[in-house]
Structure 1
């Protein structure tokens, strides 16, 4: 059991009953931890989102989420990020509340955040009107400066899988990773939700003043949804890959903003849905 003054870890022990060859046995297993994270803005004292996530890199998750939603636009917009210090809140739960102190005088538009007051770790429901919202954020179609060979793309899933330390133990986490133009792994974040993992990844780049990611490749486990492409477009990512299928709206976002969208990346095969000109073939 986690003590009242300790943050929950990314793994939780639990009992499982294994049925194999008609026989049952029990053993302890590691489960992926899933707990709520409440993001509050200070000094407004306003909760802007509650998302189910895997504890870890919570400050990056909050920063990446706020950047993707247009609440902050540059590193200087965030003065400080901290966990809750309210003594009326149970000690363990304080690590499920993040306070983000904005730059003095910054008055953000919070209306776009209304759909996030409670979200699951799966991707939220988004309408096509969100394409217009991306244009209003200032997103522009990307030029095809970055080109890669299929051989580079082929290597990405194995690198991502090898670097997924928590997934190796639990088998229950998504991941998002950045690679350079030569296919070298640069950064990776894991979470129970695909979009949370990407928020953590983008948040890490945001807090390190490394945005935009216009010379990077992003690979996500699972499928590519609207939110994955929305966040990638805002972060300036020119190539987005996934090991599974994209949604129709994800393809629309990729086409609208000049992103190369790759799906079903498995072995030495993948599909290119948009932006084929960035892939150098024979």
Structure 2
């Protein structure tokens, strides 16, 4: 499922300006914010009427007219920058009101996309889904990822591009297809566990016991290691030209299904190891998501 972030004049931290440079600075901030995100199936849409919209009283064009004392040349220069510099960083398929309306629509498993508005500095009184900062968008993206996995390809691409501090084995994607009962019935727990691993990676914690304890504290799921060794836990990872075989016997136990009324304990696993980097640092390497090996 695609997540579309709605951007318009409600996305400015200020809504009334006293100079052209202040207006351009506000657009520059939006451009910088957009560049923070490289996740799959995440798009940013700027209302194509952002300069004309009057939600906060005077439109941007009216403010430009006041600032420039009606200088048509300066107004034309502003319009040119808007289209040639700022619009090119965003999808402009919707008006501001259309973005607000779509962010007010309920989300279902049949939705092709969900909309959310970037509203950093005000209380938005319309019945729309909003966020205030990068952490808010990440939380929304993770919520959608867990609740609406769509299929294994969509889920995996969104997972690895969002939780990008981890390493993933080349066959990790295929492990989703081997989850008994369908991975999509456990995707909320899987997402929560992968987030916990990503939050710790890379780590300078020296002992395995302390690393596992740290991971365990981030979720309500168990995190442990196998009681006995086996070659089935050996996985080869490549990083920066180095190839290592890791023992991925460490695992989390995402034991809940997506059904909140289901109290059963499910034997699901996320297996991982620790890939050594420089300066006594380790990156967490995920070998398999879902099946009990």
* TM-score bracket relative to the smaller structure: under 0.3
Output the TM-score relative to the length of structure 1.
0.23
Higher strand share: 1
Name the larger-Rg structure: 2
Higher helix share: 2
